[in-house]
Chains A and B, each alone.
Chain A
Amino acid sequence: MDGRLRCVIASLLACAVAGWTSSEGACAKDRQPESGTPLHTILELETTARLLAVLLDSGRNVINEHQVLFDDQEKTEKDFTPDMFERQLLDVFRSRSGTDLRDLEAARIPARAKKLLKELVVVSTQVVAEAQPEINRRGGGLKEFIPAIFGSRVSTRFTERTHVRLKQTALAPRNALNAPDAVERTALETFADPSYPLEKVISEVTSKSGSLHLMFPLYTTRKCLDCHGDPKGELDRTGYPREGLKLGQNAGAISVVIPIRP
């Protein structure tokens, strides 16, 4: 009970930060009445945002699976082709979401989601294609092409091309560009509470913002521990101090911002 309340308060904090100044009552008057977006549109946007987050995370999954291959010192032809990546990406996404992007026509998802998901597949595959020299480079130790780097490259390009903002964020990100904004920070603090239910997204759409903001939580899996686990503070293989994360702990989130009007 106590934990639940704490959650509620934490989430409400988010609302406060988001709308503190504007919700003082004045703004309601200036707006034209009944300009609102119907709830079913909001729900469609939320589904779209969630699917985009799952697709980006599925790409990260695939990169994770092959990380050791990339790091192989001897091989120069890693056979991790963009085609193979795309195939695996679609497989992982299908199993996680139930949506087969190979047969978009038949998929029972919002029309806008179809367009955006298709674009995200294209962008993800492009990023892998462009990383080929990096992946296949002989020696040189570890490769930079890791899930987080893949994710941020894809996010940046996708945001440029679609006006839907994708971003990976965490309370203490290694990449300063991934630092959370106020809304993200509050959601991340909510996720960080161990009593917050696993895998439950937080989203909000306000009439003021004109967009839906969804936060999709990410968790520390066994693979993450190699670099982000214990002993805390000790440098990992890339030279960053380890965060001391524990298995299953929240590790950040994928942040998706979709404008209500396409």
Chain B
Amino acid sequence: MKRIALFLWVIIVAGSSSVWGAERIDAPAEKPAGSGVIVHSDGYILTAEHVIANAKRIFVVTAGDFRAPAILISTDSEHDLALLKIETVGLTEAPIGYAGAVRLDQEIITVGFSFGLREVSVTRGRIAAVRTRGVQRVFQVDAAINPGNSGGAIFNGRGEVIGLMTSKFSHPSGIVPEGMAFAVPISYATPLLANIPDFDFTMIGKGRKTVKGRGESKGLAQEVVRTTVLIETIRNTEMASMPPTQAAGGSPKSDHPAVVSPRIQPGPLRDHAPSVQDAKAIARVNDQLRVAQEAELKQLVQRGITQPEGMVVIPAGEFWMGAEDGLQDARPLHRVHLSSYWFDKYEVTNARYRQCVEGGGCTPPKDRQTFEDPQRAHRPVTNITWNQARSFCQWQGKRLPTEAEWEKAARGTDGRRYPWGNDGEFMTSVNGVEPVGRQASMASPYGVFDLIGSVSQWVKDWYAEDFYQTSPPRDPQGPLRGSFRVLRGGEWHEKSPNLQASYRGWDDVTYWGPTLGVRCAEDVP
């Protein structure tokens, strides 16, 4: 009884977690509950994120009818983890184990409040499997787990927490297989634990602090039970949980005059009815960008640096990259600071590429006929692989631009949709690949031509769908590795929204085709 008095109980009152949705039990008083584990004596509790998702208020109920409100310290929805705190001290905390030492088939103990019953259940089982989805690993546990165990810990034989119960398979047929549950390895909780002011990370894997009393084997079950908690939440049924909007905070202040606030671009309506105001704002930003560009160029000339032929300077500063309403991989709209760089005004033409072939720096494009057609000398070179594109830029003493450099050169600093503004109707219909530099009205505010509606251009970066979510705010260089390289610039036969400046294409490094070309960039010394 005394032991039970030490438990903190947390019960989900209005469970709407879809994982459990199919198997919810309609008992009026006892709803499926979530469990948690005390990770610090000052009232810090680790649980599964879905247990407290959408909760308006979280309470902790102890056996003595003491009900303590808990606050949410931090969550990690990707790994289904959350850290709570209640105002108390002197709790029995569970030691944290080293997930890397976990073995397949290893014996484990799970503790939790099945179905929200006020009796804690201790189940023995094994690590039945280790699964990977993407980069995240989960332990499959063959202990009997029921709704309400979610958020409860799994312990190793030494009583250390090695994982947190996260979800259980529920089949549409309603058949729930026995003995199959999943736990997030405790190592994923490290960032959350870092929120605890004096959390001792050196103790991870060092086992339990010496326990007073004897009877080790019996003591273990008691100890793991002492640290397991049950919590009660009141759900916010109206408000759907919105992911916290990513603050652009922390990025350095721009030294560029023309950064204006991002336009939250609504639906495609804007494409058809661009307001006069919008056009005015675009014109104003264009003027600012040109002034900044001229000033930068002047400064460079004073330093004795001359403008490379066929290139423009893009002054250092911040710009808005990505799109809030774009495709998944273009989200979120985020601020990026780039150092100043030179950028090719035009795509590389067949004629220019020929010089490289004749000079021994490049291999000919894969389709010789198109390349050798004298009619096409001033059209963009096509049918080159990423490696050929890179070789060309290197031969010229330049380099491939990064994805961010391409985008800034294309849309300036104000997050506009197209190089010329936000008006999609404005696009001149182009029938195939034209000679470069024809469409002055479609040039970017920095005077770069044929960014949209010509050919796609290889850039330096590897493609990763989620890169913008973790992109560094200064001079991002893309992911370290990948399978595909990024292609920028909506191809002429593409349809909206793939013609927007934020659109990210990609293909195999060895791909070449009639719609793929290149332009180069260079560092400003």
A interface residues with partner B (beta carbon < 8 Å): 1-2, 5, 7-9, 11-13, 15-16, 19-20, 23-25, 28, 31, 33-40, 42, 46, 54, 57, 61-62, 64-65, 68, 91-92, 95-98, 197-208, 214, 219, 221-223, 248
Contacts and interface: CB of A to CB of B under 8 A. Distances in A.
B129 A205 contact: yes
For B127, B140, B170, B329, the residue with the greatest tally of chain A CB atoms inside 10 Å of its CB is B140
Contact of B481 (A57, A98, A201): A98
Contact of A39 (B103, B169, B506, B510): B103
B442 to A, nearest CB: 24
Contact of A42 (B104, B128, B142, B513): B104
A257 to B, nearest CB: 14
A10 to B, nearest CB: 10
A35 B130 contact: no
B170 A23 contact: no
Contacts of A204: 129-132
A138 to B, nearest CB: 19
B104 A207 contact: yes
Interface string B479-492: 01111100000000
A207 B105 contact: yes
Given A65-B385, A201-B132, A207-B128, A57 B483 contact: yes
A189 to B, nearest CB: 13
B306 interface: no
B132 A206 contact: no
A205 B130 contact: yes
Contacts of B170: 9, 12
Contacts of B142: 23, 25, 28
A201 to B, nearest CB: 7
Contact of B105 (A11, A36, A46, A65): A36
B194 interface: no
The B contact surface, by secondary structure, is loop
B119 interface: no
A7 B466 CA distance: 17
Interface string B403-436: 0000000000000000000000000000000000
Interface of B: 18-19, 99-107, 125-135, 140, 142, 144, 167-171, 177-180, 182, 241, 329, 366-367, 385, 387, 464-466, 480-484, 506-513, 515
A2 B481 CA distance: 29
Given A95-B509, A200-B135, A201-B132, A39 B177 contact: no
A54 B171 contact: no
5 contacts: A16-B171, A23-B178, A24-B179, A28-B126, A65-B366
A22 to B, nearest CB: 9
B169 A12 contact: yes
Given A25-B179, A61-B510, A68-B366, A13 B171 contact: yes
A197 B466 contact: yes
B492 to A, nearest CB: 14
Contact of A19 (B107, B133, B168, B180): B180
Contacts of B135: 200
B167 A222 contact: no
A57 to B, nearest CB: 7
B134 to A, nearest CB: 3
Contact of B19 (A5, A200, A208): A5
B180 A34 contact: no
B387 to A, nearest CB: 8
Contacts of A33: 105, 107
Nearest to B107: A33
A148 B161 CA distance: 46
A198 B465 contact: yes
Contacts of A12: 167-170, 182
Contact of A40 (B100, B241, B329): B100
B105 A31 contact: yes
A16 B482 contact: no
Contacts of A23: 128, 142, 177-180
B482 A15 contact: no
Contacts of A198: 329, 464-465
A9 B483 CA distance: 27
Contacts of A5: 18-19
A207 B126 CA distance: 10
A11 B129 CA distance: 13
A35 B127 CA distance: 11
A207 B129 contact: yes
Q: Which 4 A-B pairs have the closest CB atoms?
A: A200-B134, A36-B103, A36-B105, A65-B510
Contacts of A68: 366-367
Given A65-B512, A92-B509, A202-B132, A36 B177 contact: no
Given A64-B508, A198-B329, 16 more contacts: A16-B171, A25-B142, A36-B104, A37-B105, A61-B509, A96-B481, A197-B134, A199-B464, A202-B133, A204-B130, A204-B132, A214-B132, A219-B484, A221-B507, A222-B511, A222-B515
Nearest to A217: B483
A91 B127 CA distance: 40
Contacts of A223: 507-508, 511, 513
B241 A46 contact: no
A20 B129 contact: no
A169 B293 CA distance: 53
B365 to A, nearest CB: 11
B481 A62 contact: no
A176 B100 CA distance: 40
A219 B180 CA distance: 32
